Amino acid sequence: MRAGETLRLLFRGPTAIVAAAVLLVLIVTAFLGEQLAPHDATGTDVSNRLQAPSADHWFGTDELGRDVLSRVILGAEVSLRVGAVAVGISLVAGVLIGLLAGYYGRWVDDVLMRLSDVLFAFPAMLMAIAVLAILGPGSTNAMIAIGIVYTPIFARITRASVLSVREEVYVKAARSAGAGDLRIIGRHVLPNVTAPIIVQTSISLAFAILSEAALSFVGLGTQPPDPSWGRMLAEGRGFVEQAWWMAVFPGLAIFVTVLAFNVLGDALRDVLDPRQRQAMAGTGVTA
Amino acid sequence: MSDVLVRASGLQVRFGPVRAVDGVDLEVRRGETLGLVGESGCGKSTLGNALLRLVEPTDGLVEFDGLDVTAAGRRELRALRRRTAMIFQDPYASLDPRRTVAESIGEPLAIHGLHKGRAARRARVGELMEVVGLNPDHGARYPHEFSGGQRQRVGIARALAGEPEFVVCDEPIASLDVSVQAQVVNLLVRLQREFGLTYLFVSHDLAAVRQVADRVAVMYLGRVVELGAGTSVSGTPAHPYTEALVSAVPVPDPTRERTRQRIVLSGDVPSPADPPSGCRFRTRCPKAFEACPDHDPVLQPTGPEQAAACHLHGVTDR
């Protein structure tokens, strides 16, 4: 299927359009960040602490008098960056592992996939916390930790597709013409396994952002004073009764972002590979 | 220069317990078309693949122009791949859906560093497309934009790109519409004349093979049971299995067709994992006698340019 056709089918219905629009707004927000924020996100103003939402502070202020809206805006950049880099790591590592395991089979497959299984066997959060316990807290290490956690998912999905593409007649045709493994993998296998990988990327972005928020919530991700949705949620938790806005707005931001990525991922899956729906339901992918 | 381009001796291919090819001796002569017929599962495709070492033989020897294919290293095998090619049965499956037809046709050129440079390569691809009867302006299109017959022409152009000497045609017309089968056969015949190609033409269709092949080999359960000139094998079959195959081909003459005696074989093909003792065909052979279960027949001459592995022509044993 050609790219233009895919996009046309994808944006047939309103849900995918809305999801894509939300994500576009988020990405623009993340890029502009400082320029968009009405106040200094890290500047404290104790005399204005715990102010309810008003014309000046749309989302209110936190316990140090910082503008919640500005912090949510700057938090978008953190969340998207950590999510994108983390998924980038698992995408590259996972696809590479999946290609090698699926294409070469035998002991290569056994070694790589058993290692993946070991990683996969741990609950995602526990695994990420363990990695951060070794590397130390911080947003860079959070990216690495989340990247490691999601690598086996990409490895499995890629491998499954490679196993079927490997047996295609056009692969044999390339081999009969004298193509080496590198050429076959790069030119014939990889381009034909992209659909499920694209879908998984979109869905993983949602989970990665959720994981970053969770890690920051427990204090292992983004460190203060940098704004992070997860951290803001954690800080707001103590003030839920006096200042609901401190927790509700960053929570909403996480909710909307994750939902948008999930909806887009689902729509992509419907368009790119309707059969994949069942295959992935079986892997038990959860945050 | 030897008369024989490809020679298989004692060739065997096993997939676990399954003996797909079980001791085949075969010669393909330079410039000829050797037809290879048999029902599905008899090992004819596997034999074609093994000759090009697209499947690894478990035993035996394949020689190409005096070179030991079975022992070839990476570099030798690569050089060999330039001199050989394969045309596949399903023109839908044999073209990468993500590559334009020009990319597919040009792939052997890229692999072997032929016609270097964008312009030269493009010119060569255009030339190849023209040779097989495709519009050279359609190179930027994707396989799904072509019909089955056109795709098969793309596959043929790709096979020709490296200027091979030996081409294995693996059921090249079986999945095409009847209306285009003849066109593709004629194209293959023309290309053979034009480029001096040697063909192994694998097919389950004796009528089609008879049309294109100089010589015909008949396979049954991993073995060649009859081998000879196309006219003698189909005119005076020496093996009961070949007789049955020949009797199944309709005759394009209503009066003769009405009186045609069909030999309908009873039973199924035995499992290639556990072939019958002695002659493998004996369980379905209408002419089987007491020697058949005890002796495994070898190919023996039954006439000029014809040989059969059948005890009716004298009991033999492998």
Label residue A278 by pLDDT band (50, 70, 90): very low
For residues B78 and A35, which has the higher predicted lDDT (pLDDT)?
B78
Residue A277 pLDDT:
46
Scored b (16 or more CB within 10 A) or e, A174-202 reads bbbbbbeeebbbebbbbebbebbbbbbbb
The torsion angles phi and psi of B12, rounded to 5 degrees, stand at -135, 135
Give the number of beta-carbon pairs within 8 Å between A and B: 63
Mean pLDDT value of segment A44-52: 74
For residues A33 and B90, which has the higher predicted lDDT (pLDDT)?
B90
Tell the residue number behind the tokens 């997860």, with chain if given: A230
Residue B2 pLDDT:
65
Instruction: Please check whether residue A215 is in contact with residue A231, taking contact to mean a CB–CB distance below 8 angstroms.
Output: no
Instruction: Please check whether residue A128 is in contact with residue A215, taking contact to mean a CB–CB distance below 8 angstroms.
Output: yes
Q: To the nearest whole number, what is the mean pLDDT of chain B? A: 89
Q: What is the ipTM of this complex?
A: 0.87
**Distance between CA atoms of residues A41 and A29, nearest Å:** 14
The per-residue pLDDT for range B142-172, each reduced to its tens digit, is 898 898 889 999 999 999 999 999 999 999 8
Distance of CA B144 to the CA centre of its chain: 27
H or E stretch covering B245: helix B240-247
pLDDT score of A94 more than 50: yes
Instruction: Please check whether residue A48 is in contact with residue A234, taking contact to mean a CB–CB distance below 8 angstroms.
Output: no
**Distance between CA atoms of residues A222 and A228, nearest Å:** 6
CB contact under 8 A, B111 and A177: yes
CB contact under 8 A, A177 and B97: no
**Among candidates B54, B104, B142 on the partner chain, residue whose Cβ is nearest the Cβ of A176:** B54
Mean pLDDT value of segment A157-165: 93
**Distance between CA atoms of residues B257 and B50, nearest Å:** 38
pLDDT score of A190 more than 90: yes
Residue in B96, B163, B169, B200 to test binding to A, most A beta-carbons within 10 Å: B96
Which of A124-128, A164-168, A171-175 is predicted with the least confidence, judged by mean pLDDT? A124-128
The per-residue pLDDT for range B67-78, each reduced to its tens digit, is 999 988 888 999
Residue B235 pLDDT:
84
Mean pLDDT value of segment A69-98: 91
Residue A87 pLDDT:
94
**Cα dist. A269→A6, A152, A280, B108, B236 in Å?**
11, 19, 10, 35, 60
pLDDT < 50 regions, chain B: none
Nearest-Cα distance to chain A for B95, in Å, is 5
Residue in A170, A175, A190 to test binding to B, most B beta-carbons within 10 Å: A170
Nearest-Cα distance to chain B for A1, in Å, is 8
Residue B291 pLDDT:
84
For residues A36 and A149, which has the higher predicted lDDT (pLDDT)?
A149
CB contact under 8 A, B158 and A183: no
Q: What residue type is assigned to position A165 of the chain?
A: V
Q: Which residues of A touch B88 (CB under 8 A)?
A: 169, 172-173
Residue A284 pLDDT:
42
The partner residues of B170 in beta bridges, in order of sequence, read B202
Cis peptide, bond prior to residue B270, ω within 30 of zero: no
Q: Is residue B171 left, alpha or beta, with left meaning phi > 0 and alpha meaning psi from -120 to 50? A: left
Three-state DSSP class for residue B135: coil
The per-residue pLDDT for range A230-275, each reduced to its tens digit, is 888 888 888 888 888 888 888 899 899 999 998 988 888 888 765 5
Label residue A13 by pLDDT band (50, 70, 90): confident
